[in-house]
Amino acid sequence: MFSRSSTFGRCAAILAVAALVPVTVADAASRDKRFFESVAGSWKGPGEIVAGKYKGTKFTCNLIGLPAEGKETGLKLDGTCRVGMFSQPMSAVISQAGGSYKGQFLDGADGKGLDIVSGQVTGNRAVMGINRAKLNGAMVARLEEGDSMNITISVKVEDRMIPVIGLKLNRQATAMAEND
């Protein structure tokens, strides 16, 4: 049926692919970890609600991101967003779950927040799937030039993704760097 050389060739091809797969997965995990480490730090900037009931509302956020500890890949975010005199605590936890991500904003979909149900990091951009009851959407964070980050939150309406919140953050110098 099969010649000895074609069987050997198929086995060699299968072994070559199998040898590459773990490297690719390891490289992806390493790349993702580098992304989350690169967005760690203190961030501040303006945002705006661009669609919906509160369209036109402007706000400012002060956030601190810490990369996941140890071998974990992800980010913990804490801070506040302010509209006029009113301040709202803001928090998020994003952690790797297999080849994707999970987590929550605020206290998750069971509370007053959102669940992170999926995610992917590609280069300088992370896209996280978000969910709350029947609301589905995405949060896209794009790091630009290392010291600025654009975040867009969109929701799915019928078959289209509609941007509802835009945020432009700038990295803040640390107190140690300011004292040098």
Cβ atoms of 126 and 35 closer than 8 Å: yes
- Rounded-to-integer distance, Cα 178 and Cα 173, Å: 7
Is pLDDT above 60 for 95? yes
State the average pLDDT for the chain. Answer: 82
- Rounded-to-integer distance, Cα 94 and Cα 157, Å: 25
pLDDT of residue 92: 92
Q: pLDDT tens for residues 98-128?
A: 888 999 999 999 998 999 999 999 989 999 9
pLDDT of residue 24: 47
103: left (phi over 0), alpha (psi -120 to 50) or beta: left
